[in-house]
């Protein structure tokens, strides 16, 4: 709640003017019963038609003025709501941009998307309606009550009882439905997930004849959702009748008290009508308010969800200070990458993923990392890129701890090609220039050549300007991998890491790729992570991992004798050729 105020206060002028004009509009509306009372009390008994017409002119003026200020109010409230929602959306998006990988995993991209889209929209609608009506309605309600007091204090005491009663009811209803709307939102998210899963997993579900269980689960989930909706709706549905009851019973009381006071001459009939009129204005306004409360409850639930994301510390890692890497990279004698007794446990893990890992990669050298599924190979790549803080030992880039570098400096020195080849919507050139905006076309082709992607790019009618769909879905897995390798090469970083990123290439292409990488003009240090012995066997040193521990480290031919795990991998992949 407070959190929305912060955004709204950026548009103070609009946020204040909108309800002000709304109040003016309400003010003009409130004047109407007073003038109607005059017509009844003065114009009619005096049979003075010109007085009636005279008073009517005032009413017309009020209506016109009311319309004018209403338009202004609508404009300002729309502006305040939309602009503050826009800056909320921006802040949220920028906040998420700061998320470390660990935090991204924690929240999940699909809920981030909902926060940024439908939740922000919900808040926008809520703010808009709030500015328009949540001040106008109470103003009319209280204004009508105040006016009633000016008409007759004793008769208006009814209002003093009825209003607090109504406010209490509204508050109670809102309070008890809010948590229910939140859980309805959650249930809907589950339902969406379940439909999605049934679409992506259709083959498995049908192959296992599992449809009836899926149907049963879905039926259960919808039943629960429906019950929850009925429950929230049930509470909500007392709001209308109670408002109706309180207001109309008050009207009866007004008539009764009015009758007594007119009888003793303290009140006129017209004034009783005015009191009734104010009551009916209150009723109309409260009915509107009741509908709005639903909208506002939803908006509040959304804003709480957004606030939760905003309150996440986006990045728990050590903030590095080094931003200028030129000098550091110029040091020739230090190794490009070195790890010493490196230990690492994932933030939410309870077992060490890497324990006691040490290796050294000289500038311009090649390091191979090999090991089974879940042995921690990719984790090493992520730690060199400082995706996480290490939990023990050290990882150094050109002699400095990676945690001393700013993210920008790391990105400038390490080019990581991840396992999952992903491209962005745009053109091939757009994608390649992502990490180096100033690269010339020649440099792009050079990178494509080295990544063994030049041939198929050349064959495309639009060449470098060929369209890339989201995720790169219009390219085959192998083409995608080669394009992501090329993208990493355009950066010309002094350290290049290929994290199993040539797995979809056939042996011949991969071999050509390895040759090309060795002959790159700027001679980067290379880390090749793979499951294939053939990919790493030519490296200066090979790090063999199993279950997060080093089981071998050294040149390939040495490891063949000294490391049983390596020789087993090697032989399972090569012995058939021999036989």
Partner 1 sequence: MKRLLKLLRPFTIHLIFSVILALGYVVCTLLLPVWSGKAVDTIVGKGNVDFDSLKQIAGFMIILIGGAMVCQWGMNLLNNKVCYGLVKTLRQQAFSKLTKIPISDIDSHSHGDYVSRIISDSDTIADGLLLGFSTIFTGVVTIIGTIIMMIRMNFIIALIVIVLTPVSIFMARAISKNTYKYFMTQSKDRADITEFISEMTEQGELVRSLDISEKVKEDFEEKNKTLTGSSLKATFISSLTNPSSRAVNSLIYIAVIVAGAYAVITGKMSVGELSAFLGYTREYSRPFNDITGVLTELSGAFACAERVFELIDMEDEPDGELTFDGKFEGNIKFEDVFFSYKKDQKLIENLDLDVNAGQKIAIVGPTGAGKTTMINLVMRFYDVTGGAIKIDGIDVKELKRHELRDKIGMVLQETWLFSGTIRENLLISNPGISEEEMINAAKAAHAHSFIKKLPKGYDTLLEEDGGALSQGQKQLLCIARLMIALPPMLILDEATSSIDTRTEMKIQDAFSTMMKGRTTFIVAHRLRTIMNADIILYMEGGRVLESGTHSQLLKKGGKYAALYRSQFL
**CB 231, min distance to partner 1, A:** 10
Burial 168-201 (b: 16+ CB within 10 A, else e): ebbeebbeebbebbbebbebeeeeeeeeeebeee
CA distance 129 to 74: 10
Q: Rule CB under 8 A: is residue 19 a binding residue for partner 1? A: no
- The count of residues interacting with partner 1 (CB under 8 A) is 157
Reduce the DSSP state of residue 270 to 3 states and report it: helix
Instruction: CB nearer to partner 1: give 431 or 541.
Output: 431
Contact 317, 403 (CB under 8 A): yes
Instruction: CB nearer to partner 1: give 74 or 358.
Output: 74
Which segments within 531-569 are labelled E, that is strand? Answer: 541-546, 549-554
**Site mask for partner 1 (CB under 8 A), range 83-102, x = bound:** x--x--xx--xx-xx-xxx-
> Could you say which residues in the range 337-366 bind partner 1, by CB under 8 A?
350-351
> Could you say which residues in the range 309-338 bind partner 1, by CB under 8 A?
none
Reduce the DSSP state of residue 406 to 3 states and report it: coil
> Could you say which residues in the range 392-431 bind partner 1, by CB under 8 A?
407-408, 411-412, 416, 418-419, 422, 424-425
Q: Rule CB under 8 A: is residue 116 a binding residue for partner 1? A: yes
CA atoms within 13 A on the CB side of 271: 19
What does the block give as tokens for 152?
């007759």
**CB 476, min distance to partner 1, A:** 6
> Could you say which residues in the range 491-530 bind partner 1, by CB under 8 A?
506-508
> Could you say which residues in the range 178-197 bind partner 1, by CB under 8 A?
188, 191-193, 195-197
> Could you say which residues in the range 554-573 bind partner 1, by CB under 8 A?
565, 568-569, 572-573
Q: Rule CB under 8 A: is residue 67 a binding residue for partner 1? A: yes
Instruction: CB nearer to partner 1: give 360 or 435.
Output: 435
Position among 273, 312, 334, 520 found at the interface with partner 1 (CB under 8 A): 273
Position among 74, 391, 427, 466 found at the interface with partner 1 (CB under 8 A): 74
CA angle 243, 246, 251 (to 5 degrees): 120
Q: Rule CB under 8 A: is residue 10 a binding residue for partner 1? A: no
Q: Rule CB under 8 A: is residue 32 a binding residue for partner 1? A: yes
12-38 and 49-97 are packed helices; what angle lies between their axes, rounded to 10 degrees?
Answer: 160
Instruction: CB nearer to partner 1: give 182 or 362.
Output: 182
CA distance 559 to 570: 10
Q: Which stretch binds partner 1 (CB under 8 A): 109-117, 175-183, 299-307, 449-457?
A: 109-117
CA distance 282 to 159: 10
Numbers of helices and strands, H then E, in the chain: 23, 12
């Amino acid at each position: 709640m407070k959190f929305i105020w912060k955004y709204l206060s950026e548009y103070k002028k609009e946020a204040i003017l909108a309800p002000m004009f709304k109040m003016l509009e309400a003010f003009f509306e409130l004047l109407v019963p007073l003038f109607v009372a005059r017509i009844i009390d003065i114009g009619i008994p005096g049979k003075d038609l010109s007085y009636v017409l005279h008073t009517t002119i005032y009413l017309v003026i009020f209506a016109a003025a009311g319309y004018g200020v209403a338009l202004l109010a609508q404009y300002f409230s729309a502006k305040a709501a939309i602009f503050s929602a826009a800056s909320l959306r921006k802040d949220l998006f920028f906040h998420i941009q700061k998320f470390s990988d660990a935090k991204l995993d924690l929240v999940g991209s699909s809920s981030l998307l909902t926060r940024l889209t439908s939740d922000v929209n919900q808040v926008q609608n809520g703010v808009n309606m709030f500015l328009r009506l949540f001040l106008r309605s109470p103003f009319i309600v209280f204004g009508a009550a105040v006016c009633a007091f000016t008409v007759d204090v004793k008769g208006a005491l009814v209002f003093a009882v009825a209003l607090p009663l109504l406010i209490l009811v509204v508050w109670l209803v809102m309070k008890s439905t809010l948590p229910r709307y939140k859980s309805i939102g959650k249930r809907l998210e589950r339902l969406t997930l379940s439909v999605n899963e049934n679409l992506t997993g259709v083959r498995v579900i049908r192959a296992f004849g599992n449809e009836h269980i899926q149907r049963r689960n879905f039926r259960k989930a919808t039943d629960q959702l429906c019950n929850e909706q009925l429950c929230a709706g049930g509470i909500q549905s007392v709001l209308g009748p109670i408002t109706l009851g309180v207001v109309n019973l008050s009207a009866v009381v007004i008539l009764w008290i009015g009758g007594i006071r007119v009888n003793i001459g303290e009140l006129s009939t017209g004034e009783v009508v005015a009191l009734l009129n104010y009551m009916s204005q209150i009723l109309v306004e409260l009915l509107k308010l009741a509908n709005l409360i639903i909208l506002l409850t939803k908006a509040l639930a959304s804003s709480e969800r957004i606030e939760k994301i905003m309150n996440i510390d986006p990045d728990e890692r050590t903030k590095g200070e080094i931003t200028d890497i030129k000098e550091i990279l110029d040091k020739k004698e230090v190794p490009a990458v070195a790890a010493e007794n490196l230990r690492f446990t994932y933030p939410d893990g309870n077992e060490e993923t890497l324990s006691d890992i040490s290796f050294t990669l000289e500038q311009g050298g090649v390091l191979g990392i090999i090991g089974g599924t879940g042995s921690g190979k990719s984790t090493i790549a992520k730690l060199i890129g400082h995706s996480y803080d290490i939990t023990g030992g050290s990882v150094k880039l050109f002699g400095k701890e990676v945690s001393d570098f700013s993210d920008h400096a790391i990105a400038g020195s390490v080019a990581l090609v991840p396992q999952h080849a992903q491209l962005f919507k745009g053109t091939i050139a757009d994608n390649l220039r992502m990490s180096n905006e100033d690269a010339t076309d020649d440099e792009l082709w050079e990178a494509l050549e080295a990544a063994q992607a030049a041939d198929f790019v050349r064959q495309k009618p639009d060449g470098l300007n060929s369209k890339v769909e989201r995720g790169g879905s219009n390219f085959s897995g192998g083409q995608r991998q080669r394009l992501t390798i090329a993208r990493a090469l355009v950066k010309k970083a002094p350290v290049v890491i290929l994290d199993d990123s040539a797995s979809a290439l056939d042996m011949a292409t991969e071999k050509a790729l390895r040759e090309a990488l060795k002959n790159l003009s700027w001679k980067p240090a290379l880390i090749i992570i793979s499951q294939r012995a053939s990919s790493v066997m030519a490296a200066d040193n090979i790090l063999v991992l199993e279950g997060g521990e080093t089981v071998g480290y050294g040149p390939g031919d040495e490891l063949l004798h000294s490391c049983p795990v390596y020789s087993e991998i090697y032989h399972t992949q090569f012995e058939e050729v021999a036989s």
